[in-house]
Amino acid sequence: KYTKFSIFYFWINSLGQTTYIHNRSENVPIPSGKENKTVTRSYNHRIMPLESTSSGTYYCKVKWNDIQKMGKGVFVLARGTGYIETSYKWEILITLTVLLAALSITATALLLWKRK
């Protein structure tokens, strides 16, 4: 009864719209002596190419004759430009240099003013 089943891959976008990506039917033979045993099988499916509009939660659903089971889903955030790490190294260096220059000029001006 459970050797024939169908696998469905789909995703739900941020608007709640469901899009079916792929489905396939499986017929798994049971080897002699392995009847009435629970077996776990892995079936992978790669989504390519991802676009910036591909963000959403991706699901896998398996249907037997009268039963269906669905996974918890995997959320995917697709971005067009990728992740760009922000770096403030140059801003900090320039700020520190300007601050030290201003202090140096102020100290020099105070020393010259005190001499007079």
Residues 79-111: tens digit of each pLDDT: 766 566 777 777 888 899 999 999 999 999 888
**Which whole-number Å values give the CA distances from 79 to 19, 25, 51, 55, 73, in the listed order?**
19, 33, 7, 8, 19
Could you give the CA distance from residue 45 to residue 23 in angstroms, rounded to a whole number? Answer: 10
Could you give the CA distance from residue 21 to residue 10 in angstroms, rounded to a whole number? Answer: 5
Phi, psi at 19, each rounded to 5° = -125, 120
Per-residue pLDDT of 57-72, as tens digits, reads 999 999 988 899 998 9
Q: What is the pLDDT of residue 89?
A: 78
| Residue 100 structure tokens | 């030290």
Could you give the CA distance from residue 106 to residue 58 in angstroms, rounded to a whole number? Answer: 62
Domain map of the chain by residue range?
4-76, 86-115
Could you give the CA distance from residue 58 to residue 56 in angstroms, rounded to a whole number? Answer: 6
Identify the bridge partners of residue 6 per DSSP, sorted by sequence position: 25, 63
* pTM, rounded to two decimals: 0.57
